[in-house]
Amino acid sequence: MGDASDAALARYATVRLTSDLSGLTENERAMIPILVHAAERMNDIYWLEMFGPRDSLLGSISDPSLRRQVEINYGPWDRLAGDAPFVPGVGPRPKGARFYPTDMTVDEFEAAADQDNDERLRSHYTIVARNAEGRVEAVPYHRAFQREVHAAATLLREAAALADDVGLRRYLELRATALETDDYRASDEAWMDMKSNTLDIVIGPIEVYDDKLFGYKASHEGIVLVKDREWSGRLAHYADLLPSLQAALPVPPAYRSERPGMDADLNAYDAIYCAGHANAEPVLAINLPNDEEVALARGTRRLQLKNVMRAKFDAIVRPIADLLLAEDERTYLTFDAWFEIAMFHEIAHGLGIQRTLDGRDTVRRALREQAIPLEEQKADVVGLFTLARLNESGERGIAPTIGHHVAHLVDFCRMLRFGGASPYALSAASQLNFLVTHGAVLRDAASGTYRIDADRVEPAVEEMATRMLTLQGDGDYEGVVAWYEATGAVGDDQRRDLDRLAGRGVPIDVIYEQGLEVLGLA
């Protein structure tokens, strides 16, 4: 197993999570270790959600490389290889991870939920277990993970007592209560209220990506953050544009009838510690809260993780471009252009509508497990559409649009490498196939390099944006399934291109070297 595990580990580039802490107050520096320890408790819960007791697996492994591979994946299934098992004797990953009984069928769950009209079974904040009679029932997270939740809440209150910023103090206190009750709305609203804080923490059950059975259950994570005030100042202006961006979407008025919340803001942060889902699948940005009612009424905060973005650009994006992008197109690829497509991807998450046109359900509930890849694809293409419109209007500070399309093309190749189990890879394959079919992306067979057709790419992106927004507004589950059946496969040419990247040793993703020692706070 050693050679195979060593090869698996070589797919990652190691990134040190650091930031300039010299401008922090004495209390802020004292808060960081407390917040890091609170985030660490999310690691404990995430292991239980993904696999079960951590030591039962790690204690059986003596090979250090294999052990490290298990730690990175929070279990014995390879996230970069379609969740294939890599530990001998381990079967396939349960689609519902450990959020549901592994012997539960979809029909059994739906019958139980419908029979009692039991929204608790579908809640983001419950696990589903069998009771003494063998029937499925919902167990709130704060009961299922009581010890870990209590420890994290205690630490958040300890940090709140040191907070100089009133908004941060209130958020930490309310988030502690939320962890203990599974009622997150008040803390989400308090998080939206924060404007002057330097430190931040995203903590609790956040994203539903790991529930590949229904897309209901939120995984625990923790991210400790330090604001980059200079870059945040550059971004603040774009939050004011949300109403006009919503009005310009290429769909009939009914599909853009909701008004984006006006408390939305944009900021740049350095991530200094990540735990749970945020550590297993490192993200470039944060767009929260996920509560549709809060997002509709208040908007969302969009946090660009600048140090992570810079690390991925240097270690992964640029080497991919050097191998797969036509030579004369490489000059268009800049960090600013790549930063902007990531930023407007997050902005686009807040555009469109949260509820289906018939008013019966949220888009996320109506589309079930298909909601995640479709939302990621919508955010990509609506973000590009929006950037093009801003460029046409002469908006200052926006890179030339061709740079965005080139950066996006390279990003397809980056995301395709995440494997078939990743919603990002499915979204990337769909977009690339659509653009190739429409002549907007061209591949030179002799060199195996790609280029953008500048005349065709924007009409194709607009057509795709219209399709995504319409599928969401209609809550058309069968339509989304058909869309990905038609567009979501990785072609033979693309597989050969991905093999070339692997052969050149280009990393697929990053792993973090992090903690108090890295920060100089041990």
| Higher per-residue confidence, 134 vs 360 | 134
pLDDT at residue 196, as a whole number: 93
Which sign, positive or negative, has the C-alpha torsion 121, 127, 128, 132? negative
Query: Which of the residue ranges 245-249, 264-268, 349-353 has the most confident prediction, judged by mean pLDDT?
Result: 245-249
Residue 36 in this model has a pLDDT that exceeds 90:
yes
Domain 2-50+145-513: CATH class, spelled out: alpha beta
User: pLDDT tens, 149-206?
Assistant: 999 999 999 999 999 999 999 999 999 999 999 999 999 999 999 989 999 999 999 9
Residue 347 in this model has a pLDDT that exceeds 90:
no
3-state secondary structure (DSSP) of residue 272: strand
Residue 239 in this model has a pLDDT that exceeds 80:
no
- Residue 130, C-beta contacts closer than 8 angstroms, at least 6 positions apart: 101, 104, 136, 137
Q: Kindly tell me the burial class for residue 289, based on how many C-beta atoms sit within 10 Å of its own C-beta (0-12, 13-18, 19 or more).
A: buried
For residues 287-313, average pLDDT: 88
User: pLDDT tens, 399-424?
Assistant: 678 999 999 999 999 999 988 778 99
Q: Where are the domains of the chain?
A: 2-50+145-513
Residue 305 in this model has a pLDDT that exceeds 70:
yes
pLDDT at residue 264, as a whole number: 66
Contact 261, 240 (CB under 8 A): no
Element at 359 (helix H, strand E): none
Q: For all residues of the chain together, what is the average pLDDT?
A: 93
Pick from 262-271, 368-377, 407-416: least confident: 262-271
| Higher per-residue confidence, 463 vs 346 | 463
Q: Please tell me the distance from the alpha carbon of residue 443 to that of residue 428, in angstroms, as a whole number.
A: 16
Residue 262 in this model has a pLDDT that exceeds 60:
no
pLDDT range class, residue 2, cuts 50, 70, 90 = low
| First-last CA distance in the chain | 35
pLDDT at residue 5, as a whole number: 85
For residues 7-31, average pLDDT: 96
User: How is 170-191 classified by DSSP, letter by letter?
Assistant: HHHHHHHHHHHHS--HHHHHHH
For residues 340-345, average pLDDT: 90
268 vs 204, 255, 517, CA distance in Å?
21, 30, 24
For residues 124-144, average pLDDT: 96
How many of the other CB atoms lie within 10 Å of CB of 372? 22
